[in-house]
Structure formats: C-alpha cells, structure tokens
Chain A
Amino acid sequence: MAESAVQTNPKLRSQFLDVTYVNNKTGHEVVALKNINLTIEEGEFICIVGPSGCGKTTFLNTVIGFIKPSNGSILLDNKKIEGPGRDRSMVFQSPSLLPWRNVLENVMYGVELQKRATPEIKKLAVDYIEMVGLKGFEKHYPHELSGGMQQRVNLARALTVDPSLLLLDEPFSALDAQTREFMQQELLRIWSETKKTSIFITHQIDEAVYLADRVFVFGARPGHLVDDIKIEIDRPRDLKIKRDPHFLKYVDHIWGLIENESSKQGFDS
C-alpha cells in the first residue's frame, strides 16, 4: 500500500487526516474524522458508504475546501487543498438552488461566478440539462420542480463548471427508484465520456457497488476508514448486473461491515 502510493501519481491523497469540530459557544469538541489515509487515482469513481454521522459529508467538505483539517492534509494533484478551487465542484446534500433564478440560470451560476459564461458554455449547460432529463424545464423556477428534479439541476450545475474532481453528496436521495436507476446509468455514461474523477456519497449499498471502481466504507465514533473495496465488475455495466450473484456478494459484504459499525455506534446519540 505504502509502496504503491510512492509509485503512482494519485489524483487525491488524504494523509493522516483528522477533522475536529469545535462548538464556539461551549468549546465542546467533536472528532468527525480520525486518521483518514487514502488515495484516489485519476479518473476513478469512488463511492463512500457508512452509517449516518460517520463523517462522509465532513470528508467532502474538507476536499471542497470548506473545512481545514485539524491534522494531516489532503493533496489534490499533489497540491495541498487550502480552499475552494475551480478544479472541484460539488453536488450538495441539501437543496442549494437560487429560488429567483430559473433552471438554466441556476445551471449557469457556477461558471458565471468563475467569469467563464460564454455562449459555448451555455450550450454545454443546455446539453447537461437535457442529460439529466430536464429538457423543456430551462425556464422553470426551482419551486416549480420536485425535490428530485432540483437535485438533478444541482448535478447539471456541478458538471457545467467542468471540474476535474466531482464531489456528490447523496445526489439521488430524493429520487424515486426508477428515476434513481435512470440517473445512475446517466451518471455512469457521463462519467465514461468525461472520465472525471468522482467521489459519490450514498446510503444505498447497491448504488455504491453499481457505480464505483472502489467503495470506501466509513465507520463512526470517530469517523474512520473501515475498508476500501475494489469492485471488479466490467464496464459498461448494465442495470441487470444488480441481480448478478457476483454483484450481490459485494453488497452483502459491505452490508456486513456497516451493520457491524452501526452496532458499535448504538443509538445513544
């Protein structure tokens, strides 16, 4: 493991990463992440699973540059992450569309802030809107969309800035089963076309196994990396694969790990 880290030139590397939240009123400390060591290669699709509160969002927030590690560091393209950058974009867990902008204006928001809004990019934005299945809704306002449609706008917005690292925090959690599977396929299609390194958080284990090259299993108290599982299933992956025994073995294995972690965690929070 240490050897391969020296040989390869990873896209992202987390070294001895600790993140501690300090409540500025009480001074109370919560260790959200403890000693996270991992590497992600260029073009890899990574899924993170783990019980609620184990620090998945915290990890992404550290990668996007919102949170400073209390110890250790994260290197992106061998450069230490010090704050948000144009090379990353994030699809947030909570809705974050501007209510007074229509779908197209929202999708353009990221590039607009980066002063890169050209007519070509606008065409790209329209393409992504179509790709996430919202063609014809360009002029609609967020309140006219369902929660799942809003999440898809978020995805289109994150893709339009054309990041080299895409961070997705439970982007499909508000979708119904059919749309979810459709979006999983679409995301894989977009990913195979663009080969953007992606980190995807989900609570659905079969979603993780279906999408990922590797699945990171996080445990809680404090948040730590429990396992790093390589998913050796050929691509392109058909949805039918989800009923394959080979696929289900991965799912079972990860289930076991998370169950074990959850039982350690208990319900005392």
Chain B
Amino acid sequence: MKKEDAISIGKINHKPRKISKNQRNFIISTVSVITFLVIWELVSYYKVINPLFISSPLSIVEAAATLFVDPAYWNHIGVSAYEFTFGFLLALMIGIPIGIFAGWNQIFNAVINPFVSALYVTPKVALLPIIIIAFGIGITSKIVVVFLMAFFPIVMSAQKAMSTLDQNLIKAARSFTATEFQIFRTIALPSTVPFLLNGIRLGLGQGLIAIVVGEMYASTAGIGYHLTHAGQNLKTAEMFVGVAVIAISGVLLTGIIGLIEKRFSSWKPE
C-alpha cells in the first residue's frame, strides 16, 4: 500500500528492477555456497586435508540424519534452547529498561555507567569458574552466562539511543507544551527502536557464544556439551552437526529480528 504510494510520486520502474537485483544476488549467494561445499567435499575426498579434521559435507549430512532421529539429541537441543531463551529474555527484560532509564536520567546514568562500561569490555566467560561454583554445572549457570553476555550490548545500545535524540524534535514538542513523559513516549522511545534492535542482535550473538562456551566448560547436557564430546572422540561430523545447529539458530533468530525491524521501521527510506 505504502510502497505503491511511493511509486506514484515518481519512482516508476524502480520496484521491478530491485526485485531482479535481489534475485541476482540470491543466485550469486547460492552458487557461492554450493561451490564452497563442493570444494570442501573434494578436498576431503582426495584427502588434501585429513578428513578427520574437516569431515565432509556428505558425512555431516549422514551424521545429521542419524542424530535427528535420536531423542537424546533432541534433548540436548532442548536443554540449550531453554538455557538460551531464559537467559536472553532475562537480559531483554532487565537490560532494556535499565538502558533506557540510564539514557534518560543523568544521575542514574552516573551511578551505573562505571559498571556497565567496565563489564561491557570484560570477557564474561572469564567469570565462568566462579559462576559454575555459585550456580552448579546444571542449567542455571548457563542461564547466568547467557544473561551476562547478552545484557551489556543491550544496555549500551538502549543508553546510546537515548543520548542521541534529535534536539530539534524535542524543541518542537516543548513548544507544544509537551511534558517530559510525552517527550519520552513520542520521541525517545521510537528513536531507540533501531539502536535497540542492533543491540539485541549483538546480544543474540553473544548469547549463542555463551551457550557453547558454558556447556563446553562444565555441563551434563546441551548442544555445546554434545559437540565437545563429539570433538574429543574424533566424531568430527557429529561435531559439525552441532556447529550447524547453532549457526542455523543464529541465522533464524537474526531473521526474526530483521522482521521485527521491518515492522517497526516501515517509515524508513530503503
């Protein structure tokens, strides 16, 4: 509907060309991936590199076929998914309000900023030993690690978004006798959305790292746990299945964020 309006003000012929451009890029990407897989398969088949290290696409598919009919593997996936979801939602629910409030209120910002800035650059996995001692080797410690890793990018992005508000808009709102809360709701919040989604995207990547590292370090179940054991027992193909599961989850979750972004920024220039 909106797109059609846009075309009517003089962007005729723009849309069809764009689609073909997208199609072209999609084809190029597909070819690129297939080429990579074929080279990988050949390198492995002719033992240019020892297949023990790099496995091969076909044996990974084979391993996946057996793993995905095994309920035990689904249990690992379930455990990891649970840890990630719980930790990540916690990071969102606590991180967004704190970041927004810190960006809005200078005093609160002064209180928390030293901690946020310091912890943002600290590799949170360095805290793993202590987290495991405090929360055990079960699910809880992983939730804590995911939370810690995802929390800081989210807080920082919300904070930053609030501090880069367009003063011209605030002036206009004030001239219409807007209250602080109205400015917050009608200018500050909508301005944060793109920044926030960026922070959430960063937090997502960090959270996925947290899952794998946390489970590698000490755990009894989960994709990271399975992957580590597969690696140690030289089941390289199974290990790659784990890597693929995590990578695909990451791509899917990022895709969901992309959709949310589209929904919230339909006003934006393309």
Contacts and interface: CB of A to CB of B under 8 A. Distances in A.
Given A96-B168, A109-B186, A144 B9 contact: yes
B169 A96 contact: yes
B176 to A, nearest CB: 4
Interface stretch (B118-126, B216-224, B262-270): B262-270
B93 interface: no
Interface-central residue, A65, A102, A144, by most chain B CB under 10 Å: A144
Nearest to B177: A84
B21 interface: no
A114 B176 contact: yes
Contacts of A96: 168-169, 171-172
B178 interface: yes
Main secondary structure of the interface of A (DSSP, over half): loop
Contacts of A88: 175
Given A89-B176, A113-B186, A143 B267 contact: yes
Interface size class of B (residues with CB under 8 A): 20 to 34
Given A113-B182, A143-B267, A98 B190 contact: yes
Interface string A172-207: 000000000000000000000000000000000000
A100 interface: yes
Given A84-B174, A85-B177, A139-B2, A94 B168 contact: yes
B175 A101 contact: no
B175 A64 contact: yes
Contacts of A254: none
A65 B169 CA distance: 16
B70 interface: no
Interface string B1-15: 010011001000000
Interface string B162-194: 000000110111111110001000110010000
Nearest to A141: B267
B186 A86 contact: no
A135 interface: no
Interface string B26-39: 00000000000000
A256 interface: no
Interface string A106-146: 00011011100000000000000000000000011101100
A145 to B, nearest CB: 9
Interface string A70-113: 00000000000000111011101011101111100000011011
Contact of A84 (B6, B168, B169, B176): B176
B9 A66 contact: no
A168 interface: no
A140 B177 contact: no
Contacts of B172: 90, 92, 96, 109
A161 interface: yes
Given A64-B175, A114-B177, A141-B267, 16 more contacts: A65-B175, A84-B177, A92-B168, A92-B172, A96-B169, A96-B172, A100-B265, A100-B267, A109-B173, A112-B186, A113-B176, A113-B177, A113-B178, A113-B182, A143-B267, A144-B9
18 contacts: A64-B175, A66-B175, A84-B174, A84-B175, A84-B177, A88-B175, A89-B175, A89-B176, A92-B168, A98-B186, A100-B267, A101-B267, A112-B186, A113-B176, A113-B178, A140-B6, A140-B9, A144-B269
Interface of A: 64-66, 84-86, 88-90, 92, 94-96, 98-102, 109-110, 112-114, 139-141, 143-144, 161
